Amino acid sequence: MNKISSIQAFEVLDSRGRPTVEAHLTLSSGLSASAQVPSGASTGASEAHELRDGDPQRYNGLGVRKACHNIETILAPALEGKSVFDQATIDQLMIDLDGTPNKSRLGANAILAISCATARAAAHSRKVPLWSHLAGNRKAVLPLPMVNILSGGLHAARAMEFQDFLAIPHAAGSFAEAMEWITKIHRKTRELLEEKGAYFTGVADEGGWGPRLATNEQALAILTEAIEKSGLAPGSQVSIALDVAASHFFAGGEYALRSEGRSMPARDFIDLLAGWCRKYPVVSIEDGLEQNAWSEWPELTHRLGEHAQIIGDDFLTTNPERLQRAIASKAANAVLVKMNQIGTLTETFAVIDKARASNWRAVISARSGETEDTFLTDLAIASGMAQLKVGSITRSERLAKYNRVLVLEQTTSLPHWSAASDRLPPIWRS
**Is the distance from CB of 90 to CB of 71 less than 8 angstroms?**
no
Helix (H) or strand (E) holding 390: strand 387-391
Query: Site residues (CB under 6 A) for ligand PGA?
Result: 40-43, 163, 243, 245, 313, 365, 367-368
- Regarding 205 and contact with Zn ion (CB under 5 A), the answer is no
**Is the distance from CB of 2 to CB of 28 less than 8 angstroms?**
yes
Q: Which residues pair with 26 in a beta bridge?
A: 6, 32
- Regarding 243 and contact with Zn ion (CB under 5 A), the answer is yes
- Regarding 98 and contact with Zn ion (CB under 5 A), the answer is no
Nearer to Zn ion, 161 or 286 (CB): 286
Nearest residue to 240 (alpha-carbon basis) of 141, 149, 328, 372: 149
Nearer to ligand PGA, 365 or 383 (CB): 365
Given candidates 313, 347, 378, 397, which one binds Zn ion under the rule CB under 5 A? 313
Question: Closest separation between CB of residue 221 and ligand PGA, Å?
Answer: 22
Question: Closest separation between CB of residue 249 and Zn ion, Å?
Answer: 13
Helix (H) or strand (E) holding 263: strand 262-264
| 338 is known as an active-site residue | yes
Nearer to ligand PGA, 53 or 370 (CB): 370
| Angle of the 396-411 helix axis to the 175-195 helix axis, nearest 10 | 150
| 354 is known as an active-site residue | no
**Is the distance from CB of 145 to CB of 390 less than 8 angstroms?**
yes
- Restricting to residues 131-160, which ones interact with Zn ion according to CB under 5 A? none
Count Cβ atoms within 10 A of the Cβ of residue 380 and give its class: 0-12 exposed, 13-18 middle, 19 or more buried: buried
Question: Closest separation between CB of residue 293 and Zn ion, Å?
Answer: 15
- Regarding 91 and contact with Zn ion (CB under 5 A), the answer is no
Q: How far is CA 233 from CA 166, 228, 281, 430, in A?
A: 15, 6, 10, 14
Helix (H) or strand (E) holding 35: strand 32-36
- Regarding 161 and contact with Zn ion (CB under 5 A), the answer is no
Nearer to Zn ion, 317 or 418 (CB): 317
- Regarding 290 and contact with Zn ion (CB under 5 A), the answer is no
- Regarding 347 and contact with Zn ion (CB under 5 A), the answer is no
> With CB cut-offs between 5 and 8 Å by kind, which of Zn ion, ligand PGA, none does residue 305 bind?
none
Helix (H) or strand (E) holding 321: helix 320-328
Active-site residue (options: 338, 389, 397, 401): 338
Question: Closest separation between CB of residue 45 and Zn ion, Å?
Answer: 13
> With CB cut-offs between 5 and 8 Å by kind, which of ligand PGA, Zn ion, none does residue 367 bind?
ligand PGA
Strands 387-391 and 4-13: unpaired
Active-site residue (options: 11, 206, 347, 397): 206
Q: Which residues are tagged catalytic?
A: 206, 338
Binding site for Zn ion (CB under 5 A): 243, 286, 313
